[in-house]
Structure 1
Amino acid sequence: MLAFQKVDKPTAGKNKIHLDLDASDLDSEVDRLVAAGARLIERRGDESFRWVTFADPQGNEFDVAEHG
């Protein structure tokens, strides 16, 4: 599924498209993405919903969330 959200005030310096992806095993996906060249920016959320923000080698940010 692909969803679009309208942002009223874009943040300067960030990419125009920000992907939010999901994973069944977030910890394994973090390891896989870092090994593939992604830079981990921040782990977020709590025990009810977790996601991690990354940047690709060109600095474009994206998130990966764990689905239940």
Structure 2
Amino acid sequence: MTSRFTELAVDCHDPEALAAFWCEVLDFKVIDRSEEIVEIGSWEPTVEDIRARQMPPTLCFTLVPEGKTVKNRLHIDVSPIDGSTEDEVTRLLGLGATKVDVGQGPGRSWVVMADPEGNEFCVLRTLAP
């Protein structure tokens, strides 16, 4: 018996807006939505695909009443594929992300940012040729 990592849930105040932000960041699309949850992904999961092999997880943005109060214990890392890390940081700032200091210190090879609702994520080294 085994399990698969199928979704990462992100609590938020505005699932539609946060899903739209992350769709732009990751080039994902909305694959399911309800009144309180918007799910995005790079593919549309089927039970058969999930059972056959480990597939990339989707992101589910879930409406919650409370706000974020502390640094995330779990966060997303992204790696640019078409340009430099600096170019990607500039693009993400234009989408509504902000740079944040979580005590990472100077001289790191990654940039810590926050999405429009304050969830931290890191922009890692570029994978561009």
| Larger strand fraction of residues | 1
Deviation at 1:67, TM superposition (A): 3.4
Larger radius of gyration: 2
Task: Tell me what 2:74 maps to.
Answer: 17
Deviation at 1:16, TM superposition (A): 4.9
Deviation above 2 Å: which 4+ runs of structure 1? 14-17
Task: Tell me what 2:124 maps to.
Answer: 65
Between Structure 1 and Structure 2, how many residues are aligned? 55
Change in CA separation of 1:44 and 1:58 when aligned onto 2, cut-off 3 Å: farther
Structure 2, unaligned runs of 5 or more: 1-54, 57-68
Report the TM-score when normalising by structure 1. 0.64
Change in CA separation of 1:44 and 1:54 when aligned onto 2, cut-off 3 Å: farther
CA RMSD in angstroms, aligned pairs only: 2.6
| Larger helix fraction of residues | 2
State the percentage of identical aligned residues. 38
Q: 1 CA distance for matches of 2:99 and 2:72? A: 16
SS at match of 1:29: helix
Deviation at 1:30, TM superposition (A): 0.7
Report the TM-score when normalising by structure 2. 0.36
Instruction: Say which structure, 1 or 2, has more relative contact order (CA 8 Å, 6+ apart).
Output: 1
Structure 1, unaligned runs of 5 or more: 3-11
Task: Tell me what 1:8 maps to.
Answer: none
Deviation at 1:19, TM superposition (A): 0.3
Deviation at 1:15, TM superposition (A): 3.0
Paired AA for residue 22 in structure 1: S
Change in CA separation of 1:51 and 1:44 when aligned onto 2, cut-off 3 Å: farther
